[in-house]
């Protein structure tokens, strides 16, 4: 595949060196097109050495090849990282004063922008309007990560890690090779992931074996398909997916509050988290001590049913609600009963226990729909299952 790696003038340009290496080592023919000012951060010699390709910034360089037209025409993917506020504004305006903005005008392949800038710049109405305009035109604009910026500043605006950006690029390339455009552009989606924990005392909790891998795969797939993703993560030790806003929670009640809040303006909600059905009636303020040999009595109360609440009180007409059901036997019959009880549109039922599903890199499931249809997903990577689920959701969003 032929990739154009566009580099804007931001300090995060140093991360794009690693992204370039990931592209080239995986066999992709990659040409770096930096903006002139970006060379203040990473020089032309570095890009040329890492890519094995010539590096130019101006539309007048190598005019016999007409690069400002040919590069965009022949690319399979244009990936801009970092995409600065200035570069996004010039792209929206259709300016072509340098080679990168000219390439953006001529590209007929998928285009991905990975913004990176200070929090105030990202949250400014002008930048938000430009991100929306780029999405409206069919580009994938990832949400920046939250974290340490330059100096002591922290907040949303950080460029996601290169490995996560590489994963997005591979997903976009795969869909493009199959003739599939990003079909969730302009959509807001919520995904929950991980397993909730209900505290008994300051050192103990009731929990489950969920690792969050399936929920994270769903978030990554949605971001690569152009959606604005909110990921509500409970007790997950995984790298943040590129393009997703991550909200961290611990307990079922915290997850309920975060999901309901995020769902208020969303088009779809996928509850992939393993949410505890019960919590202790009372939490000890100090560590519970043994009391001889007598058994300890533990009283439990029921947690809120987040999936049923979402389905019963949809935030907007046409909102698609998807649940996950973990079963150890009778997957279809138990799943159908749960689908009816919850009132959701789709229920992804997978078998658990004996080394299945929890903590693994693969999964298999049957997706039951409220219209009576069912879709079997054979064992394979959790990313594959995620794409099938989003295919089913996208069809219902229309």
Q: Which of 375, 378, 386, 392 is nearest to 321 (CA)?
A: 392
- The pLDDT value recorded for residue 354 is 62
Q: Are strands 188-194 and 140-141 parallel, antiparallel or unpaired?
A: unpaired
Is 350 known to be catalytic? no
d(Cα 347, Cα 349) in Å, to the nearest integer? 6
Tokens of 308: 């049923």
- The pLDDT value recorded for residue 65 is 58
Cα dihedral 327/328/331/333 (nearest 10): -90
The domain ranges of the chain are 2-177, 188-397
Class of domain 188-397: alpha beta
Q: Which of 56, 127, 140 is nearest to 92 (CA)?
A: 127
The pLDDT tens digits along the chain (398 residues) read 999 999 999 999 999 999 999 999 999 999 999 999 999 999 999 999 999 999 998 665 665 554 567 888 899 999 999 999 999 999 999 999 999 999 999 999 999 999 999 999 999 999 999 999 999 999 999 999 998 888 788 899 999 999 999 999 999 999 887 788 889 999 999 999 999 999 998 989 999 888 999 999 999 999 999 999 999 999 999 999 999 999 999 999 999 999 999 999 999 999 999 999 999 988 888 888 877 777 778 899 999 999 999 999 999 999 999 999 988 778 888 999 999 999 999 999 987 766 666 767 888 899 999 999 999 999 899 999 999 999 999 999 97
Dihedral (CA of 224, 229, 235, 240) sign: positive
- The pLDDT value recorded for residue 282 is 86
- The pLDDT value recorded for residue 302 is 94
- CATH 2.60.60.20 fits domain 2-177: no
- The pLDDT value recorded for residue 71 is 87
**Catalytic residue of the set 130, 208, 303, 363:** 208
- The pLDDT value recorded for residue 149 is 87
| The two domains 2-177 and 188-397 share their CATH topology (first three levels equal) | yes
- The pLDDT value recorded for residue 73 is 87
């Amino acid at each position: 595949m032929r990739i154009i790696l566009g580099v804007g003038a931001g300090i995060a340009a140093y991360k794009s060196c690693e992204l370039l290496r990931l592209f080239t080592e995986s066999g992709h023919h990659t040409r770096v097109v930096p903006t002139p000012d970006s060379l203040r951060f990473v020089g032309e010699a570095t890009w040329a050495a890492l890519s094995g390709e010539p590096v130019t910034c101006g539309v007048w360089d190598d005019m016999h090849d007409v690069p400002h037209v040919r590069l965009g025409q022949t690319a399979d993917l244009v990936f801009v990282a970092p995409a600065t506020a200035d570069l996004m504004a010039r792209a929206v305006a259709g300016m072509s004063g340098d080679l990168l903005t000219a390439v953006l005008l001529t590209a007929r392949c998928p285009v991905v922008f990975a913004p990176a800038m200070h929090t105030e710049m990202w949250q400014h109405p002008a930048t938000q309007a430009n991100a929306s305009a780029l999405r409206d035109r069919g580009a994938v604009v990832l949400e920046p990560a939250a974290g340490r910026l330059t100096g002591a500043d922290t907040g949303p605006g950080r460029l996601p890690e290169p490995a996560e950006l590489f994963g997005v690029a591979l997903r976009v390339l795969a869909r493009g090779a199959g003739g599939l455009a990003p079909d969730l552009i302009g959509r807001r989606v919520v995904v929950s992931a991980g397993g909730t924990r209900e505290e008994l005392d300051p050192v103990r909790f009731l929990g489950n074996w969920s690792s969050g891998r399936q929920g994270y795969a769903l978030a990554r797939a949605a971001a690569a398909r152009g959606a604005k993703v909110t990921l509500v993560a409970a007790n997950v030790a995984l790298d943040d997916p590129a393009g997703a806003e991550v909200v961290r929670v611990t307990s079922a009640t915290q997850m309920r509050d975060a999901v309901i809040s995020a769902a208020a303006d969303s088009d779809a909600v996928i509850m992939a988290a393993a949410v505890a059905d019960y919590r202790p009636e009372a939490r000890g303020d100090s560590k519970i001590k043994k009391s001889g040999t007598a058994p300890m009595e533990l009283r439990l109360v029921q947690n809120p049913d987040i999936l049923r609440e979402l389905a019963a009180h949809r935030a907007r007409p046409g909102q698609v609600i998807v649940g996950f059901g973990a079963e150890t036997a009778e997957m279809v019959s138990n799943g159908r009963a749960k689908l009816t009880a919850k009132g959701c549109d789709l229920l992804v039922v997978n078998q658990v226990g004996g080394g299945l599903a929890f903590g693994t890199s693969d999964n298999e499931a049957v997706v039951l729909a409220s219209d009576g249809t069912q879709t079997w997903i054979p064992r394979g990577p959790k990313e594959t299952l995620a794409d099938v689920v989003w295919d089913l959701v996208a069809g219902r969003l229309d």
